Amino acid sequence: MERCRFTTSWGGVLRCRDEASRFGFCRFHYDCYRHGEIDARGVISERISDQERRRSINYHGVPGGTASAV
Ligand SMILES: [Zn+2]
């Protein structure tokens, strides 16, 4: 199974564990990409000022999903 290539900005090493569906991203991150929230490399856009949104993008598919995971 191919995994989503999104890498969280959170340490830069954790990757989303969802199955890749389109363009190397999982459905969730593909949607983010389409909306310009992350770029083609899977890096979260600096233009997103909403911290809650950044957090949900960053933590989607990351095991643990919360700050205690690292
Ligand atoms: Zn993903």
Question: Which DSSP string do the residues of the chain spell out, in sequence order?
Answer: -PBP--B-TTTS--B--SBP-BTTB-HHHHHHHHTTSB-TTSPBPTT---HHHHHHHHHTT-SS-SGGG-
CA of 41 to the centre of ligand 1 (A): 12
pLDDT tens-digit series, residues 28-62: 999 999 999 999 888 889 899 999 999 999 889 88
pLDDT tens-digit series, residues 4-17: 999 886 666 788 99
CA of 66 to the centre of ligand 1 (A): 16
CA of 12 to the centre of ligand 1 (A): 14
What is the reported pTM? 0.82
